[in-house]
Amino acid sequence: MTSTQLQRTVRVLGSVVAIVFGIVTILAGSRVLLGTDPGYVVFRPLLIYNTVMGALYVAAGVTIWSSAQRGKHAAAAIFTLNLLVLIGIAIAYRTGDAVAIDSVQAMTLRTAVWLAIFLSVAWRMRVPAAIGRTALVALMVGSAASCTNKQEATPATMEQSAQAVMPAHGSPPLDPDERTALILPAMGRHLVLSEMRVMLTSVQEFVAAAARGDTAAMRTAATASGVAAARDLDPAMQQRLPAEFLRLGMSTHTAWDSLALDVASGSTTNQALARLGVIMSNCVACHEQFRIAIEP
């Protein structure tokens, strides 16, 4: 294998890793946004950031595949963003309890993966070696920040923490979730969540089709979550949902139809994925504002 062939092989592998990593990030983040309990305290701004970044990971992977130069810049930008976020949450972890150690470890992994992708794309592209060394040192500093000056969780400190968050005697426990509650019967909850799962499936199928370059499958995935998917909503159920929730939902369905038309009219994969990122911002806004509660 020649040097050029080896360089291209490494770049293609970096592209595949970026795309797969993006899809996994989107699916994992979306599941938690839809209500799956990850088993630790979730810092919602970080969850939203990572879910949106998943779409950018996929777009960057496609860019790396098509152009080493543009892919290098995309990977460097994502690595830098992730590193800054890692440093921020590491500081937050050291100074309080808003961020779980699991979040710091996961962010360290994401940052390390994108450092590796950047180095694989930049390999033999005359990138100064000092850049790679500096980035590695910065990653190590960010990781170490989460491991120092943080009190170990002994039984005594765990008891103190529990006492700090326990409500005063006789007071009802405070609900930490301050989002607007949609009070629905069990069947209503099922219908709303089913519609959300359809959209989540569209995201997964659209991204997978984009990675293959299958525009027909991209259109099919987008159309599945278009306005037609919302036509069967019970009018009585609509009356129980806030106007802003309905507005976000319908604008998202309309955006899916628009995305399908864009793909049919010849939009590039990067353009289509950018539009998908905008659609996902609607999903994030909705989950940030509303939650579903079962009617007593």
State the average pLDDT for the chain.
78
Instruction: Tell me the two tokens of residue 277.
Output: 């990122």
Per-residue burial over 137-167, b if 16 or more Cβ lie within 10 Å, else e, is ebbeebbebbeeeeeeeeeeeeeeeeeeeee
Identify the helix (H) or strand (E) that includes residue 285.
helix 269-289
pLDDT of residue 160: 45
- Judged by average pLDDT, the poorest of 3-7, 155-159, 169-173 is 155-159
Instruction: Tell me the two tokens of residue 141.
Output: 């500093």
User: Whose CA is closest to 50, among 33, 63, 65?
Assistant: 33
Q: pLDDT digits over 193-208, tens only?
A: 888 888 889 999 998 8
Query: Is the confidence at residue 124, as pLDDT, over 50?
Result: no
pLDDT of residue 141: 47
Say whether 226 sits in a helix, a strand or coil: coil
Sign of CA dihedral 220, 225, 226, 227: positive
Query: Is the confidence at residue 2, as pLDDT, over 50?
Result: yes
Query: Is the confidence at residue 109, as pLDDT, over 50?
Result: yes
Distance CA 165, CA 176 (A): 11
What is the average per-residue pLDDT within 232-242?
A: 76
Sign of CA dihedral 242, 246, 249, 255: negative
Distance CA 87, CA 139 (A): 9
What is the average per-residue pLDDT within 126-153?
A: 46
Query: Is the confidence at residue 255, as pLDDT, over 60?
Result: yes
Q: Burial of 217 by CB count in 10 Å (0-12 exposed, 13-18 middle, 19+ buried)?
A: middle
What is the average per-residue pLDDT within 81-101?
A: 81
Neighbours of 292 (CB within 10 A): 17
Q: Specify whether the CB–CB gap between 139 and 111 falls below 8 A.
A: yes
Q: pLDDT digits over 41-64, tens only?
A: 777 888 898 899 999 999 988 988
Query: Is the confidence at residue 189, as pLDDT, over 70?
Result: yes
Which residues make beta-bridge pairs with 180?
290
